[in-house]
Structure 1
């Protein structure tokens, strides 16, 4: 959140960063065994900030779960859809994967 604020993001974007980071990191903890690392990259000059959550589980790919309305869990990627400008994933050089999200203002 500090990185977003330092990049000049308004308060509602900083709040969205907090929610999106919580969801992305929680997904890594729940669904991807192994060591977790958080890499944060802030790009303030273009009025955007990108965050990355890396994990060691290349075989466990992010996927949206349908039919979870009213049920606990399974909403993390839908939340990323709702509060970020873009998100996705890519293989990590170490064999894991990186889930990233960007917020623009």
Structure 2
């Protein structure tokens, strides 16, 4: 079966409640694209981690006269799903070394790294940064 490429984009305010909207959007879109539940669950996990990081670290980094924004892009190809999260913060994401067991946070990129084929970030010419990861979907 030959699967076409699909792309979905969602722009959100950089607010805590936007994480849940991003997760719901991911489930709805990937269900419409007929991905299996286990792939949807994994995608929701990385979306949650990446959007949470963007929301936490973007507040106040953009133009103070406008509300900070976060953009979630989901791009499906036949054998992989690419998740991209952009924000206005020009600083690279921090992948901390060892996170203490008792720490309440700091594991987001470890989780993304553990479940994805690869992840990285780049700085678009328009400013800010984009953090992305690739999730394997298997052969279709």
Question: What is the TM-score normalised by the length of structure 2?
Answer: 0.65
Show the counterpart of 2:98: 67
How many Å apart are 1:81 and its aligned residue? 0.6
Q: Specify which of 6, 10, 35 is matched with residue 9 of structure 1.
A: 35
d(CA) in 2 for partners of 1:24, 1:8: 23
How many Å apart are 1:27 and its aligned residue? 0.5
The 5 A counterparts of 1:18-57 are: 18-32=44-58, 33-34=61-62, 35-44=68-77, 46-57=78-89
d(CA) in 1 for partners of 2:36, 2:86: 26
The structure with the larger Rg is: 2
Q: 1-10 or 20-29: which moved more?
A: 1-10
Gaps of 5+ in 2: 1-25, 63-67
Q: Specify which of 130, 133, 137 is matched with residue 98 of structure 1.
A: 130
Deviation per residue, 1:43-97 (Å, 9 max, x gap): 23x2211111111111x21121122131111111001011222211011221111
How many residue pairs match? The answer is 103
